[in-house]
Chain A
Amino acid sequence: MNLVEVRGVTYRYRSGQGVEDVTFLAAPGELLGIVGPNSAGKSTLLRLLSKVVLPRQGHILIEGRDITSLNRVALAQRVAVVPQAFHVAFPFRVAEVVLMGRYPHATGGNWGHARDREVARAALEAMGILDLATRRMDELSGGEQQLVSIARALAQETRVLLLDEPTAHLDLGHQRVVLEILLRRRQEGQAATILVSHDLNLAAEHCDRLLLLAGGRVRTAGRPEEVITAAHLEPAYGCPVAVERHPVSGRPRVQGILNHRGAHGAASQHSPDVREAGRP
């Protein structure tokens, strides 16, 4: 059974942005990357999957059940979200924030029982930040706060995990911690992880499949080597790109091209300005 099933979903904000007729699946043990330019609809998809907004058309199924038939608590037991920006309004301590992830599993609105504390501790340990447990959120660096945010989502113990740019503000060492968590989830084979990222190379390197969004529509979907090609990326991003293979993994690697030299034929058609701006 697919953990996530999105069928023909359309949602538009008043600004006109949104997503249009999006369809995709995510199976257990899968790490799915959603990539695309700014305002492609990536974050909108995460908001739809977590029922912050409801689709105007189409259906979203989580663990085979329509999202509209799940109440918020039931959905939060199945889907956890790591948001792009994580700001906690009051000086809560790290352990308290991670324990908030236990809310959907608590009975009677009270959480913090022994089992909750074990799960929260395991989540902190997995992120390598158990030593931060009693620190206040406002004392942490942005990167550390991001790790807490992910630990909070892990403590939710859901089979579906959605991450919106989880590594955007992290240094290489912290990025590695996050990626190892994602890869371990994949290895365990029970959960589906959906990663929204601007970092095409990171997504191509680690995801099983990629979904390329642009202008709210799915441009292409498939294995990274099928999606990360100049033919797909150049129209989506409106700029010339060069694709090569990673020397170790053999996965595709992409770079935008500022100068016409080295770009192949298709590139120059998309960027006459770039050519003129190039060095004489």
Chain B
Amino acid sequence: MSGKATLPDVPASRPVALAWLVGVLLVGILLSVMVGSVPVAPREAVRALLAGAGAADDPVVAVVRQIRLPRAILAGIVGACLSLAGLGFQAISRNPLADPSVLGVSSGASFGVLVAMLLGLAGPFANPAVLTLFAFAGALLAAVIVYAVAQVDGRLPITTLLLSGVIIGLFFTACVMLATALLAAAELQSVVFWLMGNLAPASGRTLAVLALVLAIGVAVLSREAGQLNLLALGEEQALQLGVEAERVKRLVFVAASLITGAAISAAGSIGFVGLIVPHAARLLLGPDNRALVPAAGLLGAAFLILADLAARTVVAPAELPVGVITSFCGAPLFIYLLRTRRGGEPL
């Protein structure tokens, strides 16, 4: 064989797959603005989406642009945040079962939000960035505790990681309940609704804060994606290949907590997205994080938009919390992944 010959090109299909994911996302957005109490035809929906600001008095444009599109954008950003958080936690714990909800990080973020509410920092006129910061702090606190508890001799065995995630999650859930009990009755209903996972219409400011946080998360994960691949060989091998493993892990840890916090503060506790989406993206594109970061972001956005569509339609005119849909998809997948884990790694 000639020395010039190169390897079979494993990732050749990547740009095509990413283009498909963009397509899926666009279709998801289109569907979500079409379906609702007032159905909108596809052609009308496209026209409304592309209409200029002048068409604001057209009722179809108003429904699409002012009600359904912001909701789809919120769902998309939250889905992307949770998926990328899952991807990050999975890469640094070298395990596909890590997910913000499984690890108790989501509960920590919820607690952070409730603390902000108790302090009177939430509400319609509050700064959404403050809420996000509190959720971030809660998520980070929970994540630090979970990883500290789970660590055995500098390693992170999956059993202790999952157990400590469950326990810390339960603890923060109890804290949330305590805080809920302290809240005024007037706020109670919205809190309960939010806790269940709820993509209520969000203000432009909230969306802007979320988009900014997502951009930070994407930037950090994209920058570290290649080094996260090397972490799959084990921390020691990563060091021996030139990766500052500790720095990479810490950075991704903080970024994943930040985007978890942002997602939770905006939409409440929506479970398992960070488990389902990276798994699906890995099936499509393989485990290279350099491809998974854009893929998980796009797929996560599309997934939550479609899950929200389902939540709005299956019991229409009533509405399910979107967290119900994601958990119904995620829990069976979690069990499947747990039972079919490949050999070589002791449980």
Interface residues, chain A, CB within 8 Å of chain B? 47, 50-52, 71-77, 79-81, 83, 86-93, 95-97, 99-101, 103-104, 109-112, 114, 117-118, 120-122, 124-125, 133-134, 138, 156
Q: Is the CB of B241 within 8 A of A92?
A: no
Q: What are the residues of chain A within 8 A of B229 when measuring CB–CB?
A: 92, 96, 100
Q: Is the CB of B8 within 8 A of A95?
A: yes
Stretch in contact with the other chain, from B107-115, B195-203, B282-290, B293-301: B282-290
Q: What are the residues of chain B within 8 A of A86 when measuring CB–CB?
A: 233, 237
Some 7 contacts from A to B, beta carbons below 8 A apart, are A74-B242, A76-B240, A96-B288, A100-B230, A103-B241, A122-B3, A124-B7
**B121 within 8 A of partner (CB):** no
Q: Is the CB of A80 within 8 A of B286?
A: no
Complex A-B, nearest 4 residue pairs according to Cβ-Cβ distance, in ascending order: A90-B287, A76-B242, A89-B94, A73-B242
| B177, chain A: closest CB distance, angstroms | 36
**B243 within 8 A of partner (CB):** yes
**B236 within 8 A of partner (CB):** yes
Q: Is the CB of A81 within 8 A of B240?
A: yes
Q: How far is the CA of A50 from the CA of B240 in the complex (A)?
A: 6
| A69, chain B: closest CB distance, angstroms | 15
Q: Is the CB of B223 within 8 A of A121?
A: no
Q: What are the residues of chain B within 8 A of A117 when measuring CB–CB?
A: 6-7
Query: Among B3, B240, B286, B287, which residue has the most Cβ atoms of chain A within 10 A?
Result: B240
Q: What are the residues of chain A within 8 A of B344 when measuring CB–CB?
A: 87, 138
Chain B residue nearest in CB terms to A139: B342
Contact of A104 among B1, B7, B232, B241 (CB under 8 A): B241
Q: Is the CB of B6 within 8 A of A118?
A: yes
| B96, chain A: closest CB distance, angstroms | 7
Contact of B239 among A72, A87, A133 (CB under 8 A): A72
Digitize B228-252: 1 where CB-to-A-CB distance is under 8 Å, 0 elsewhere. Answer: 0111111011011111100000000
Interface residues, chain B, CB within 8 Å of chain A? 1, 3-8, 10-11, 94-96, 223, 226-227, 229-234, 236-237, 239-244, 282, 286-288, 290, 342, 344-345
What's the dominant secondary structure at chain B's contact region? Answer: loop
Q: Is the CB of A91 within 8 A of B287?
A: yes
Instruction: Supply 9 further A-B pairs (C-beta < 8 A) apart from A75-B242, A76-B241, A90-B232.
Output: A72-B239, A74-B242, A83-B236, A86-B233, A93-B10, A112-B11, A120-B7, A133-B8, A156-B241
Q: A93-B10, A95-B7 are in contact. Are A50 and B287 (CB under 8 A)?
A: no
Q: How far is the CA of A165 from the CA of B118 in the complex (A)?
A: 59
Chain B residue nearest in CB terms to A122: B3
Q: How far is the CA of A133 from the CA of B290 in the complex (A)?
A: 20
Q: How far is the CA of A77 from the CA of B227 in the complex (A)?
A: 16
Q: Is the CB of B226 within 8 A of A109?
A: yes
| A115, chain B: closest CB distance, angstroms | 9
Q: How far is the CA of A87 from the CA of B236 in the complex (A)?
A: 12
Chain B residue nearest in CB terms to A114: B6
Q: What are the residues of chain A within 8 A of B244 when measuring CB–CB?
A: 72
Q: Is the CB of B242 within 8 A of A109?
A: no
Q: How far is the CA of A87 from the CA of B243 in the complex (A)?
A: 17
Contact of B233 among A88, A104, A118 (CB under 8 A): A88
Q: Is the CB of B286 within 8 A of A91?
A: yes
Chain B residue nearest in CB terms to A124: B7
Chain A residue nearest in CB terms to B90: A90
Q: Is the CB of B240 within 8 A of A90?
A: no
Q: How far is the CA of A90 from the CA of B281 in the complex (A)?
A: 13
Q: Is the CB of B10 within 8 A of A95?
A: yes
Contact of A72 among B95, B242, B282, B342 (CB under 8 A): B242
Contact of A92 among B223, B288, B290 (CB under 8 A): B288
Chain A residue nearest in CB terms to B344: A87
Q: What are the residues of chain A within 8 A of B232 when measuring CB–CB?
A: 88-90, 92
| B229, chain A: closest CB distance, angstroms | 7
Chain B residue nearest in CB terms to A111: B226
| A114, chain B: closest CB distance, angstroms | 6
Q: What are the residues of chain A within 8 A of B94 when measuring CB–CB?
A: 89-90
Q: Is the CB of A110 within 8 A of B226?
A: yes
Q: A90-B287, A103-B226 are in contact. Are A118 and B345 (CB under 8 A)?
A: no
Chain A residue nearest in CB terms to B278: A90
Q: Is the CB of A83 within 8 A of B237?
A: yes
Q: Is the CB of A92 within 8 A of B286?
A: yes
Q: Is the CB of B96 within 8 A of A90?
A: yes
Q: What are the residues of chain B within 8 A of A125 when measuring CB–CB?
A: 1
